[in-house]
Amino acid sequence: MGIQRSKRYWIGFDLGGTKMMAALFDDKLHKRSVVRKKTRAQEGSAAGIRRMGDMIETVLEEGGVSRRMLGGIGVGCPGPLDLKQGVLLEAANLGWRKVPLRQALERRFHRPVTVMNDVDAGVYGEYRCGAARKSRCVVGVFPGTGIGGGCVYEGRIITGARSTCFEIGHCPVVPEGALCGCGRRGCLETVASRLAIAAAAVEAAYRGHAPHLMALCGTDLAAVRSSALAESIRRGDKAIESIVRRAAQWLGVGISTAVNLMAPDTVLLGGGLVEAMPALYREEVEQSTRQHLMDALVKSFKVVVARLGDDAGVTGAASWAMEQSSRSGEHR
């Protein structure tokens, strides 16, 4: 090869329960091409991995990049994971168990593959290119069906030795509270997740306190999406507004614990609920978090809303793969 180090490219992959996305980035993290597909998890993990590989081939082709120019692949996926081995241990929403993602993709592409938690990928993406750029410590919290959390500290994603960490959704906040999906009581998710909000919203609709929500989606829990909640508030459902505000305040209670432990300079909020109601969330979470902190920490951080949307996961996965490669000094 010539003296000049040739330019390299990176794949970021976001494996979700219903959809997956692959994107190709250059060294400057500019996106060159992108492919989206339905996950079709019910077809099994072997077919899933093949489809993932095919998508990677497609983005390389569409980006005009040969395999030889590929530096590495980063995959963000739902947990729990064995980070060291790159194995997806169990994904409830995919129905997959013990899937050796890293091994399978390395065999096909002969390039280093980094498997990471999807929330970590999103937080890292916002840290590299989005709302949390240049922060020293970012605590990211993504309320959705559950509540995901992740932390980037001085450029590194904080993890356990083998698995991910920052499970803020399962921090207990209500003694003897409602039953959580994890089997314990009173976790943050039981009062601040979209599921908790939807349950309270459906009850309000049933009682006749939320006519706009009733008109939008009736009392079907699964139909109460973030966009429906936002729309019913916009149309004037005060009961729904107070339910969402209370949930956002609870989120602040959970986040105050993280601020006490990590003293971040940036608290990053993202996910469907926050995207649908960014101002409400930023305001309530900021106020509630500060209210639950000791004086020394009250003004130590800012609250920002994620701005990369769907791109956060693929950007984070690709840039973390790039970062891992430069740390390990691999220049193949």
The window from 85-93, 180-188, 238-246, 288-296 that contacts Zn ion (CB under 5 A) reads: 180-188
How far lies 314's CA from each of 18, 22, 76, in Å? 16, 7, 7
Residue 159 CB partners (closer than 8 Å, separation 6+):
83, 117, 120, 165
- 58/163 with CB nearer Zn ion: 163
Smallest gap from residue 15 Cβ to Zn ion (A): 23
- 182/215 with CB nearer Zn ion: 182
Query: Which residues 66-85 are close enough to bind Zn ion by CB under 5 A?
Result: none
Give the Cα separation of 332 and 124 in Å (integer).
25
* Contact residue for Zn ion among 22, 180, 285, 308 (CB under 5 A): 180
Give the Cα separation of 292 and 260 in Å (integer).
10
Question: Measured in Å, how far apart are the chain's first and last C-alpha atoms?
Answer: 11
Q: Which helix (H) or strand (E) holds 145?
A: none
The window from 150-158, 183-191, 213-221, 272-280 that contacts Zn ion (CB under 5 A) reads: 183-191
Site size with Zn ion, rule: CB under 5 A: 4
For residue 175, whether the previous peptide bond is cis, meaning omega lies within 30 degrees of 0, is: no
x/- string (CB under 5 A) for Zn ion, residues 185-214?
--x---------------------------
- 185/225 with CB nearer Zn ion: 185
Strand partners, 31: 25
The window from 46-54, 147-155, 177-185, 201-209 that contacts Zn ion (CB under 5 A) reads: 177-185
Smallest gap from residue 183 Cβ to Zn ion (A): 7
Give the Cα separation of 111 and 323 in Å (integer).
14
Other Cβ atoms within 10 Å of 236 Cβ, number: 11
The window from 7-15, 72-80, 179-187, 194-202 that contacts Zn ion (CB under 5 A) reads: 179-187
The window from 30-38, 153-161, 163-171, 191-199 that contacts Zn ion (CB under 5 A) reads: 163-171
Smallest gap from residue 52 Cβ to Zn ion (A): 30
* Contact residue for Zn ion among 178, 182, 221, 223 (CB under 5 A): 182
Is 105 near Zn ion (CB under 5 A)? no
The window from 152-160, 174-182, 232-240, 261-269 that contacts Zn ion (CB under 5 A) reads: 174-182
Smallest gap from residue 182 Cβ to Zn ion (A): 3
**Residue 261 identity:** L
Confirm if 144 and 306 have CB atoms less than 8 A apart: no
Give start and end residues of each alpha helix (H) in the chain. Answer: 45-63, 101-109, 118-129, 189-192, 194-206, 211-217, 226-235, 238-262, 272-276, 278-291, 295-298, 311-327
- 164/232 with CB nearer Zn ion: 164
Q: What Rg value do the Cα atoms of the chain yield, rounded?
A: 21
* Contact residue for Zn ion among 108, 170, 194, 245 (CB under 5 A): 170
Confirm if 207 and 156 have CB atoms less than 8 A apart: no
- 182/221 with CB nearer Zn ion: 182
Residues contributing to the site for Zn ion (CB under 5 A): 170, 180, 182, 187
